[in-house]
Amino acid sequence: MLALTCACWASAATAGAGQAKAFPYTYYIDDLPNGLRIITIPTDYPNLVAYYAVVQAGSRNEVEPGKSGFAHLFEHLMFRGSKNFTPRQRDEIMQSAGVNGNAYTTDDRTVYHLVFAREDMDKMLELEGDRFQRLEYSRDVFKTETGAVLGEYNKNSANPVRKILEVLRETAFKKHTYSHTTMGYLRDIEDMPNQYDYSIEFYNRYYRPEYTTILMVGDITRAQSVAAVKKHFGEWKRGNYVAQIATEPPQAAPQKAHIEWATPTLPWVAVAYRGPAYSDTEKDLAALSVLGQMAFGSNSELYRKLVLNEQKVEALGGDVSFRIDPELFTVMARVKDAKDVDYVRDQILATVKQFSDTLVPAGKLAATRSRMRYEFALSLDSSEAIALNVAPYVGLRRTPETINNLYALYDQVSPEDIRNAARKYFAESNRSIVTLATKAKAASTEGGQQ
């Protein structure tokens, strides 16, 4: 029998000081006895249903030495057959139904998503239920997919942005699993073909109902959603594994690294500070998120100076990461000339200091918050877009209500909150700087403002 532990709804009713809720759609939350959560969001978009299965297992969960990259590997393996459907059968069924589906992996979650016509829902959930509960792949298939992952890593390594983010992680984190990207360490990827037995263990640990939330968004009722999911996932067995993830100790001193790039590319500079974990109750993350827009967004003074007026920078942006555990506030700039890297770095550091020393104008703060809310509202323009935007928050808190909580915090952030957050997190000892430049044009990483 279905155990209903929560039946929640959200609407456009006013919240706080006359503000409508940021997430305006009615939603329902139902929990099966095995721990699987179902979130149903009916919409007015006809016929189509967006299905997102959010598994709370990403690279953060790769706790054993030598075993990084497995969360991402399963993004591949989950398409390689199950007990009742071969990969070819699955592909033929989905193609005949015109279904669009894919997956992605991040630090904290792996997400599988489909968009299908309402009349195909039962068959699609049958396919999904089979691979989530009865995944099957041979050793040969496993080796093929590990080879594909190595190829993907090598392709990504040709991208300077990917490389600088990889080095930045290793520079800023020493204990926590955020020290490696979702792709994993190259040495671990190269050893993956020998880890078939461990892959089965990884699947049995994390592909469990208590780690999974199924989002159903579109032309569907709550009753239809719960009945269909219960039919195909109701017998899924709960697991008992809980990862022991190392706590990162406080950073004691500023860190730096430089990457000499073998081929011609524009230089990059990344300035990062260890930040807070995601929270929809404490103001620090909300304050830093607003600060990122005000200090380094396309409407910021620094953007106008470096990108528009001086034209020394081709791209600039900065924001705090929304992660289960404390992650980074990162500013990145792509510089047009290697001789300006130190100058751009110092301008970023001066901007950080400015926000630590002075209060932002209340009017500018209000305009920034309003723009952030408006941009989020504009992004909810289809059932698939709604599911896409809700999934990251579900990976953090398993409920869309965290969106409303977060935007309510944004509305409460004051100039003093922003200054206090800057002072708290933008300490020199909390900082890591990574630069990248073509070897023949490598910019100096010594000297300059510290």
Please spell the DSSP secondary structure of 51-117, one letter per residue: EEEEES-SGGG--STT-TTHHHHHHHHTTS-BSS--HHHHHHHHHHTT-EEEEEE-SS-EEEEEEEE
Same fold? 32-233, 255-441: yes
**Class at the top of the CATH hierarchy for domain 255-441:** alpha beta
pTM of the entire structure? 0.92
- In this structure, whether the domain defined by 32-233 belongs to CATH 3.30.420.40 is answered with no
Query: Residues near 91 by Cβ (< 8 Å), separated by ≥ 6?
Result: none
Q: What is the DSSP code (8-state) at residue 150? A: H
Long-range contacts of 139-146 (CB under 8 A, 24+ apart): 139/196, 141/77, 141/80, 141/81, 142/77, 142/193, 142/196, 142/199, 143/193, 143/196, 145/73, 145/76, 145/77, 145/80, 146/73, 146/189, 146/192, 146/193, 146/195
- Cα–Cα distance for residue pair 119/99, rounded to 1 Å: 12
On the question of pLDDT at 5 being above 50, the answer is: no
Query: Residues near 190 by Cβ (< 8 Å), separated by ≥ 6?
Result: 150
Amino acid at 113: H
Task: List, for residues 94-136, the tens digit of each pLDDT value.
Answer: 999 999 889 999 999 999 999 999 999 999 999 999 999 999 9
CA angle, residues 13, 16, 21, in degrees to nearest 5:
40
Please state the rounded mean pLDDT for residues 34-63.
Answer: 97
Q: Domain extents for the chain?
A: 32-233, 255-441
> What pLDDT is stored for residue 442 in this prediction?
43
> What pLDDT is stored for residue 19 in this prediction?
62
Q: Answer whether 318's CB lies under 8 Å from 332's CB.
A: yes
On the question of pLDDT at 72 being above 70, the answer is: yes
- Cα–Cα distance for residue pair 314/336, rounded to 1 Å: 6
- Cα–Cα distance for residue pair 149/74, rounded to 1 Å: 10
Residues 203-230, buried b or exposed e (16+ Cβ, 10 A)? bebbbbbbbbbbbbbbbbebebbbebbb
Task: List, for residues 285-311, the tens digit of each pLDDT value.
Answer: 999 999 999 999 999 999 999 999 999
> What pLDDT is stored for residue 417 in this prediction?
98
Confidence tier at 441 by pLDDT (50, 70, 90): very low
